Chains A and B, each alone.
Chain A
Amino acid sequence: MITLKGINKTYFGAVPLHVLRDINLHIDRGELVSIMGASGSGKSTLLNILGILDNYDTGEYLLDGVLIRNLSENRAAELRNRMIGFVFQSFNLISYKDALDNVALPLFYQGVSRKKRRLMAMEQLDRLGLADRARHLPGELSGGQKQRVALARALITNPSIILADEPTGALDSKTSCEVMQIFRELNADRGMTIVIVTHDPGVGEQTNRVIRIVDGRIAPDQ
């Protein structure tokens, strides 16, 4: 599903920062993987490259057999829309749209009709136990509910892969467990490929494979 060969990434700030060094990685379809490492080790940078939100300097990234390099903004937008679902630590919901509209938004960019998108969004919310919160604004939801809305938004386009950056970082341990439970079910029941970035070992334990990053390098398996 995901193949990285010799990926390097440097941030050219005041002092150039070589964040990712010679990353080689393969993730199969249907895997539930976590990427762990200390803060600043380059986890988010890696995930952003996987999500075609950021570019890399050298190497090769194949997503489902497609070489991701020098894509036009339109092509990148389309791939993100159809293939990838994002979940962020800070939820990244649009504050003035209610849960239903937030979930339906990716379909808006696919040109799905308003009626159909609302129906699909409602189904998705229902599956995650949020049907009664559909008309609430994000500000009126708890952290766990917000993250479930974000998940519903990630799932609504039926993507091949879910990329989650510290999805439980802003949640208490109980809701963290609930969210992780959802990830596990999605992986087990629907065979969805899921990559979770975290620095929480408890989260890492619930995934099937842990990839460790130390100073921009993938640490060899113990």
Chain B
Amino acid sequence: MIDLISEIAQVLGNNKTRTALTGIAVVWGIFMLIVLLGMSNGVLNSFNEHRNSQGSNMLKVWGGITSIAWQGYKEGRRVSLDDKDIARIAADNPAQAADVSAQVYGSALTVSTPHDYTSAYYMGVYPSEQRQRSLNMKAGRFINDLDLHERRKVVVLSSKTAETLFADPGDAIGSVVKMGNIAFTVVGVYNTEWDQSIYVPFTTARVLAGGGDRIDSIVIELKNVNSEADGTEAETRTRKSLAANHAFRTDDESAVSIWNRFNQQLEMNRGMNILNIAVWVIGLFTLLSGIIGVSNIMFVSVRERTHEIGIRRAIGARPRSILSQILFESVAITTLFGYIGIFLGSAVNELIARLTEQTEFISNPRTDLNIALSVTVVLIIAGMLAGLFPALKALKVKPVEALREE
């Protein structure tokens, strides 16, 4: 084996320019493959993180405006969700609705402490909101059932808001903030990067909004859904329940809008798979041009070395030795430069990772060891393929004829 390697090193070293030129094609191919894979991984990671940050097994519903006249009502009527809908959706589809909760969106108001003030939107939510948004508590707790039940004047702030409002954010829990003119007690602070919402109990928010039973949005957490068909069924049933409550036609798409996060996620996964496959295909095609380059060079090399092959045959090289030498040379060129490509590609990915740390679209665009391994396998196969035909050609060299050639 050491013999074979030194033998190959000698041959490649003997043709440095040619070896290097061929190598560049391979480096480029692998480089492209690694960078593309890195980018697609980055996009994938970003989507996955996004998915984790907002639960995906759910439907979110908003009221809309009817577009079809129905049961004596004209089209163009506004449909507002209300408390009856929560109960009805849960009752109509117990097999799929795991949890139904609602939100009331408040208007922007001034939130202040003796230390400072800020302007923010508040949202009246159920305790399940925490799970749905994957909110991470930095201190204290989220809104709970008792808050909801007793319409407590409690509030959960984002860590950024807490930093603004308190000289020492550690003091936030238990302190009082004024929302407009009303005093609220801070019960929790959550970690956040983007979200600056201020959460209060759903029932409290409704009081602040002046009572009534209007709801801005309903979230239905789903269970027993595994396919797109399941997701669609849940959506249709929800629409039916609402149509019955609000007297619109079930096929009136604009009466309520339903965001089917479950189906969207499935679609996204499919898209991600396609992206992944596309990247491999593009990368492999780029690599293919590298392989053809190596193959060409090996052909040239075999032609130039016909005489040498004749000498080797005359002094006792078996056809198999000649074959394996050409194949190994080809694999050696391909893997050597392939690894340079992997190295450069990973370096670029690392650079992109550093540059995009603050960006949302790409997250950690690095390739893992698995990919490096599969690329190695790809390289070896590629090298074999590139060397195969030249090697078979070298085999056909007849010693006498090769020796006659100068």
Contacts and interface: CB of A to CB of B under 8 A. Distances in A.
A92 B10 contact: no
B32 to A, nearest CB: 33
B302 to A, nearest CB: 15
Q: Which of B10, B307, B403 has most chain A Cβ within 10 Å?
A: B403
B316 A51 contact: no
A73 B311 contact: no
Interface residues of A, number: 28
A25 interface: no
B399 interface: yes
Interface string A87-129: 0101011101100010001101110001000000000000000
Nearest to A48: B400
B3 A108 contact: yes
B314 A86 contact: yes
A53 B403 CA distance: 10
User: At the interface, is chain B mostly helix, strand, loop or mixed?
Assistant: helix
A77 interface: yes
B10 A77 contact: no
B25 to A, nearest CB: 24
A64 interface: no
A109 B318 contact: yes
Interface of A: 48, 51, 53-54, 73-74, 77-78, 80-82, 86, 88, 90, 92-94, 96-97, 101, 105-106, 108-110, 114, 153, 157
B405 to A, nearest CB: 11
Given A54-B400, A88-B403, A90-B406, A80 B311 contact: no
B16 to A, nearest CB: 11
Contacts of B6: 114
Q: Which of B7, B307, B317 has most chain A Cβ within 10 Å?
A: B317
Contact of B313 (A77, A94, A96, A108): A77
B115 interface: no
B106 interface: no
B10 A96 contact: yes
Contacts of B313: 53, 77, 80
A212 B373 CA distance: 65
Given A53-B400, A90-B406, A114-B3, A109 B314 contact: no
Contacts of A106: 315-316
B79 to A, nearest CB: 85
Contact of A51 (B308, B314, B318): B314
17 contacts: A48-B400, A53-B314, A53-B403, A54-B400, A73-B319, A77-B313, A81-B316, A86-B315, A92-B310, A92-B314, A92-B403, A94-B312, A101-B10, A105-B315, A109-B317, A109-B318, A114-B6
Contact of A77 (B3, B307, B318): B318
